[in-house]
Each structure stands twice: as structure tokens, then as C-alpha cells.
Structure 1
Amino acid sequence: MATKLHLTGKDLRRIGYPEGKVISIALAVMQQNFKHTKQQEAIDLLQKVLENPEDYIHNATLSKIAAELVEKPANAGKPYVEIPLNEERKEYTVFGADHIEAGAINQMEVAMRLPITAAGALMPDAHQGYGLPIGGVLAAENAVIPFGVGVDIGCRMCLSIYDLPAQLVHSDVSRLKNILQRETLFGAGQEFSKPMDDEVLARKAFQEIPLLRSLHHKAVRQIGTSGSGNHFAEFGIVEITASNQDDDDFKVPPGTYLALLSHSGSRGLGASIADHFTKLAMHKTPLPREAKHLAWLSLDSEEGQQYWLSMNLAGDYASACHHQIHRKVARALGENPLKMVENHHNFAWKEMHEGRELIVHRKGATPAGKGVLGVIPGSMTQPGFIVQGKGEATALDSASHGAGRRMSRTAAKNSITHSQMNAALKEQGITLIGGGLDEAPMAYKDINQVMSFQQNLVDVLGTFQPQIVRMDS
């Protein structure tokens, strides 16, 4: 005879369910509909509902649990009072304004009217996003905007330069392809069957914050993997010139080198954090329709502090994912890198500007404080740039995070053919593993033009030319 399910409130709290009505609802639903389900299977199912309640809102048996999780009862019974925007916007600088779409400008105009806004800037790769445009930099007073950070928290560039001949990308293509296919894994929900351990997974925040506690198992399984869309890992050629050798932080002799460049973020962990806290912010600070995705959390509030800790953990997790990839590739090559250059985007920092501490959001923008190293990629066929920030105040110590999209993903899929994309790759001698039409080179702006608009923001120390590109299939 099958053993009956015996769940308790303690079981639910242990996997991250909040105190309150949702626990009693969940226990009743599970007892009524899943009473002969194995204990672990029931807990796994409840974790899935907790992480993505919207997916279950129309489920015949689980909708009551999902509805309670989506509701955010913190504001239940309180009157809805919309917070008005300022009549006048704060001034901000736009770099490469003539080449930025109107939608991105309009979003920035709205962001500069938030009551918490102190300063802002728009980078030359900017295009329309949700809330803050991609390429938007926004400094706020003692508040953080989850959608000002973005969904893929801590999305990141990481470049390893190896003391190996650059011509390996031409003479040893098969081996390098095999290394990328064996040591990387791409796509939404993808997991390694035997993930590597990492010290970031033992962080106290995973136990102290209920949401993170519920996401720990996902973080463990996805460590070292990469997302879909524009995420990649690619071998290419780095070129360093003699004129770059007067810098103490970047001592790589002049010449050409084999290099690995990766772009990815915090995977399902970051996406779940962004989803949870964005909804919470929208509930706590309701804004006019055009600004609703710019809802913020005060850093004086418990929710704001929880988001800040969760965001920083997600950023460190994104870094750990890259480091695992680069360690495995270095082991496969039998060569440790001469130099590693890396930087976040989709993040918020506490920084001093004009004598006061501000929360600087860089949604698709690269930190470019004076002397700060970073990487600005191009596209599958265009070069990337190793840069050092100049600390330009009007840019809030920022630069672009790439070339920027010239057309949306949908537009690219509808207007670019596979033959056109393959011809462009062949012309540049690029080997592509995976990749879709939405990431075709012609969907992106001219990186050289974008770089010309930010000569006052960064110095160029070297270039990276992609040759063997791995993306989601």
C-alpha cells in the first residue's frame, strides 16, 4: 500500500515559502490532490511553483498556491496611491545621440524624472529595453531599481589571454571546437549532470534569505553554464600594441595571442531574483504606466537590503560561472592565462559622485572609472576591445557594453536569411557552433562607430577578433 504524503509547514518554510496563508493553502492543496505522491517529488513540485508561480496560475490543481505567491500580500488592503514623476527631468548626457533609437531616448527621459534620480547618462550602444533602456546609466538616491539592473543580474564579460600562437584558431580548429563543445553548456534551464563545486554556493545569504534558499538547488545545478540569446564563449585573436605598455595594470607584451572571451550572467538564479523583487518593487512603489518598470526599493527597507544582498550574490555567481569555464578551458589547453580581464554589466554599485554616495545602475553599460579595465565586444564578425576607463564624470564613469542592437530579435529573424548570415560568417572566416538569426552580425551596430563616440570615456589597450564562436543552438 502506498505511503500517504505527510507535509508540514516546516517542510515548506525550509524550501523558502513565506510565513502566512500560502503555507496552509499549499498543505491543503497537496493533501487533497497529491496525497499518494512521494515526499521529495511533492517538495520538488512546490519549489517549482514557488520559483515561477506565473507558470501555474492557470493550473487546475496548483493555481490557488500560485495566486497567493503572485499576490504579494505585503500591500493587501492598502489603497493604491500612484507616485507622481517630477515635472522636470534631470539633465543627462547622450553619447552618439544621432544613432540611438527614439524608444531608448524616451525611456531615459522618463527615468530622469523619477523622484529618486540624481544623475544619468546614455551610452552609444543604447536601445530600448524594459524600464531603463539597454545602455542606460542611472544614479539614484539611496534606492535600487531591480529593472534598472535588469533580468540577467551581473551579466559579464571575461577574457583570458594565453601565451599561445594566435594562428591556432586556423591550424587547430577541430580541437578548439571540441574544447568549447565539451567544456561549455548553453541554453535556458541547461545543467551539468555533475556540476563543479564552488565557494559561492556556500555563501550565508543562501540560507538567510528565504528566496535564495529556494533557489540554491538551481544555482548548484547550473553553476558553470551559460544562457541563451547573445551569450557566447569564443576563441579569437588578441592583438596588443607597443603603445599600451606604459600601464601598470595591463602588462601584456606586444603581439598577437590566442584568447577566450565569454559573455553570460547569473542564469536562473539571477532571473528569479529579478522577477521576485521587481514585482515587489512595483507593488510597494506604484508609478505611472510609462514608468512602472522603474519601481524602486529603498535601501532603508528590509526588501531593499534583501535585494541588494541577492543582487551581489548573483553577480558573484555570474563571475564564478565564467571562472569555471575559463579554468576548464585553460586545463584543456594546458596553459594558464597571461592575463584575465573581466567586468560586470546589469548591476548596481555604491559609488561617490560629486561628493555624495549614489546607487549607480548600469543596465548594459561597462564600468569605466579611471584606470578600470574592461572588455567591450562587437559581434560574431566584429572585433571587441580591451579598454581602460578614463573616469568621465558626464558618463558616470561608464562606457558601452558592446556594439548594441541595430534591429530587434524579431526584426532580425524576419529580415535576415540563413544564407545571408552564412555568407557574412564565411567572408570573415568565422566558425559558428549554434547561434540563431537573431544574433546575426547584421543585427548589430558598427562597433567601430560606437567606439568613436566614446573616445573620451575609455582608452583602447588591445583588440579581440572572434574566430570560433559557441552559442546556444
Structure 2
Amino acid sequence: MRTNGKAIIETENLPIKLWLSEEKMDKGALEQARNLANLPFAFKHIAIMPDTHQGYGMPIGAVLATKGVIIPNAVGVDIGCGMCSLKTSLTEINTHDLKEIIQIIRKTVPVGFNRHNEPQDESWMPKRTGRLPIVDQEFDNALYQIGTLGSGNHFIEIQQGSDGYIWIMVHSGSRNIGFTVANHYNEVAKKLNLAAGADISTDLAYLPESSEYFDLYQNEMNYCLDFALANRQLMMERIKHAFTKVLPEVEFSNFINKPHNFAAEEKHFGETVIVHRKGATRARKGEWGMIPGSQGTHSFLVTGKGEPQSFQSCAHGAGRIMSRAQARKQLDIQTEVKALKAQGIIHAIRSRKDLDEAPSSYKDINEVMSNQADLVNIEVELQPLAVVKG
């Protein structure tokens, strides 16, 4: 069925509203969406964004509202993963300066599984309030990880904006502290559900609000959200230092931050619910956000339209069209590198293992943006110039 141009699946307990055609969803993601729609505590409908693909328990690019429970796996293991952008005063930058800036960034921002050799200044860490048992356990280790990029699809990108200015975009998350919090509370949820006789076969174990762990998880999740922001802010400071070392007159403005893995208490359709966004960005009316493509395609700065049917949400990126293993096996490295060089992009594909982040492993970002024209307004289009990946 289609309503207002959107596909709606009505075979489950709740409708599933798709911002793409059902045929464009991979089988695993569709099955996971059906599982969400049959949860007894799910609210109103399930919203599936145009960048969706299979995740763990819940599709990446999905929005789930619940009543009375919170689901750790509906937030994911990288709590607070998101992006930030910063505008520079530059209107152009030459290749020589770009390469120098990238070299400095690589020396000051650890990537992949690397971390700092020394603990960073504790003032960068968010303040701890209330009970935070896992955060307290991981705090000292996190001092070595704050200001680090991580791996996978995390990136630092220097971009040319359609507004005439050079922009910086960073995509990263809460590193090991978020991973540990997520796994701990998912295991707690599984034990609680099994004791209550609930089915946890869908990897969507939940914490009921009657449990002390409901509030504990929220406290620790919110700390991880703050840590992920602080992580991006420290990286951005190091990136700014790299720019000013090469181009001393540069100035910076218009900092934007948006997480896309989190749960929050919000009011929708007249009721207070817990909205889980996993690989989805909040897009309230007039709210700024970022939707990146890949290292070979455009990204976008957007403002939300506050669409109620998406729970005021939009896509968080292009979304994968093939798994990481598929990309490494099927894509041709010469073809991918040639396409990036043709655009003059200082890219991050060095060997076959990097093909999981090649542009061809992602969906067409222009199609993704077209499918969510009712969710966001495009404010600035960004062309990649140079990329650092984990």
C-alpha cells in the first residue's frame, strides 16, 4: 500500500512506513522491521528511513517509539555515534595545503583501533552525575580514547560547500566506553526477559521502566552521548590546529552536532514515548543536521521539516548497498581509486581491505535525498576534497 507517496506494510501488528520502496530493502532489514512492528510495546508505527540496511536486532536507519520500555540494541553498540560540522572562512584550498593539513591530522588524531599514548586532559571528559557503574569502570581507559576516530565508516572529511566555503565534517562515536555500556545492559535485559518468560529471539531484549536498570541504562547512555560529542569536539580542535598551522589566518564558525544512535523521551501523536533512533537523525522543524554520502559523493547540511510520520527523523547517510565482506570481495580497487582520483579527492583507499568504504558499497545519495524530500530541506551541498578514515 502507498499513502502520500510512501510505501506502507500493513501485514504486522503495527504499520511499517517506508521512505523507500519495499523492493529496495534487503531481506534481513525487512525481517527486522517486521519484528519491530510486532513488539507489544511498540507505539503507533515503525518508520524506516531511505538509507536503511540490516543491523543487529533492528535495521540501521530505523525509528522505533516504545511505551514503558527501553531497548539497548535499538540504540546500538556505538551509543551517541554521530557527526559534527564546522565552517571555515576559506573559500578555496590548494592540494599542497590539503595534504599538509591531512598529514598533521594523522599525527594528532589516532584512527582505527589506535588510541593516544597518554591520557588526555580530564577537562574534556563530561561531568559524571548519578549512578554510572560501567562509565566509572571504563573512565580511565576512556581518557586515552577521547579525541580518536575509530574505524568502520567513521571519517574526517574536508569539503567544498555550495555556499562557497570550505567545511570540515567528523563522524565518530563513543568508542569502547559506549560499546561496553551497550553490551552490559543488553545482557542485563536478556536475563530480565528470560526470567519473565519473554521471547528474546529477535535480539531486542528490553528494560522495563519498573526495573532499576531502566534508569541506570538511560543515565549511562546519556553519558555516552556526551562523551561522543566531547570526542568529536576534541578531534575538531586538533583539526583546527592542523588548519591554522598551515593557514594561520583561517577562522571557524557554525559548529553543528547531531547524534544518530540514541533513545530519548519525546512527545509524539499526543503521547510521551521513548524514541529509539538507530542510524537515524532527529529532524525537528528548522533543526540543522548532516547527511553524508561516501568519500566519493556529495554530503548535505540540512534543516528538518518536523514530519510527524517519521517521528521527526531523517536518514543519517547514504546507507550500505553491500556488506563489508561483499565489498572487499566484489569491488575492483583500481576502478574505485580511478574514480576518486578523477574527482581530485585525496581519498582513504590504500588496499583491498579498504574497499568496504569504497563509494560503490553505498547507496546513491541523490536517491536517498530524493526519497526524503518531505523530511528535510537541503541547505548546503558538500563536495569531498580530502578524507581520513579509520
Instruction: Mark yes or no: TM-score above 0.5.
Output: yes
Deviations 1:177-203 (A, max 9, x none): 223212321112523435233353442
1:226 CA displacement: 1.3
Per the alignment, residue 161 of structure 2 pairs with: 238
Which of 7, 14, 28 is matched with 1:103 structurally?
Answer: 28
The question of whether the paired residues in 2 share the 8 Å contact of 1:136 and 1:362 is answered with: yes
SS at match of 1:294: coil
Matched, 1:257 2:165: yes
Structure 1: which amino acid aligns with 2:175? R
Stretch moving more, 178-187 or 328-337: 328-337
For 1:173, the equivalent position in structure 2 comes to 98
| Contact 1:169–1:468 (8 Å) recurs in 2 | no
CA RMSD of aligned residues (A): 1.7
Match for residue 52 of structure 1? Answer: none
Which residue type is aligned with residue 210 of structure 1? P
Distance 1:202 1:398 in 2: 29
Q: Calculate the TM-score normalised by the size of structure 1.
A: 0.75
Per the TM alignment, residue 102 of structure 1 is displaced from its structure 2 partner at its CA by: 2.2
Shift of 1:273: 0.5
Equivalent position to 2:209, from 299, 312, 332: 299
Which has a greater percent of helix? 1
Distance in 2 of aligned mates of 1:393 and 1:432: 38
Match of 1:332 in 2: 242
Query: Is 1:451 aligned to residue 366 of structure 2?
Result: no
**Matches of 1:131 and 1:117, distance apart in 2:** 14
- TM alignment of 1:4-83, pairs within 5 A: none
Q: Give the structure with higher Rg (CA).
A: 1
Q: Deviations over 1:52-76 (max 9, x none)?
A: xxxxxxxxxxxxxxxxxxxxxxxxx
Say which of 355, 363, 387 aligns to 1:437.
355
1:394 is aligned to 2:309: yes
**Matched letter for residue 99 of structure 2:** S
**Paired residue for 1:229, among 143, 152, 167?**
152
**CA distance change for structure 1 residues 467 and 192 in 2, over 3 Å: closer, same or farther?**
farther
The 3-state SS of whatever aligns with 1:172 is helix
- The equivalent residue for 2:328 is 413
In structure 2, what is the equivalent of residue 277 of structure 1?
185
CA-CA distance at 1:171 after TM superposition: 4.8
* SS, match of residue 334 in structure 2: helix
Provide the identity percentage.
Answer: 37
Amino acid corresponding to residue 408 of structure 1 in structure 2: S
Structure 2 Cα separation of the partners of residues 397 and 233 of structure 1? 27
Supply the distance in 1 between the matched residues of 2:148 and 2:182 (Cα, whole angstroms). Answer: 19
Given the superposition, is the C-alpha separation of residues 192 and 202 from structure 1 closer, same or farther in structure 2, using an over 3 Å criterion?
farther
**Structure ranking higher in strand proportion:** 2
Q: Report the secondary structure of 1:227's partner residue.
A: coil
Q: Could you tell me which amino acid in structure 2 is paired with residue 238 of structure 1?
A: G
The farther-off stretch of 460-469 and 421-430 is 421-430
For the 8 Å contact 1:180–1:233, the answer to whether it is kept is no
TM-score (norm 2): 0.90
1:129 is the counterpart of 2:55: yes
CA–CA distance in structure 2, aligned partners of residues 321 and 192 of structure 1: 16
Q: Residues of 2 paired with 1:371 and 1:173: CA distance?
A: 33
Q: Which amino acid aligns with 1:463?
A: E
Q: In structure 1, the residue corresponding to 2:165 is in which secondary structure? A: strand
How many residues align structurally?
A: 367
Larger mean Cα displacement after TM superposition, 421-430 or 301-310: 421-430
* Deviation digits for residues 23-52 of structure 1 (CA, Å, limit 9, x no counterpart): xxxxxxxxxxxxxxxxxxxxxxxxxxxxxx
Cα distance change on mapping 1:192 and 1:391 into 2, 3 Å? farther
Shift of 1:163: 0.7
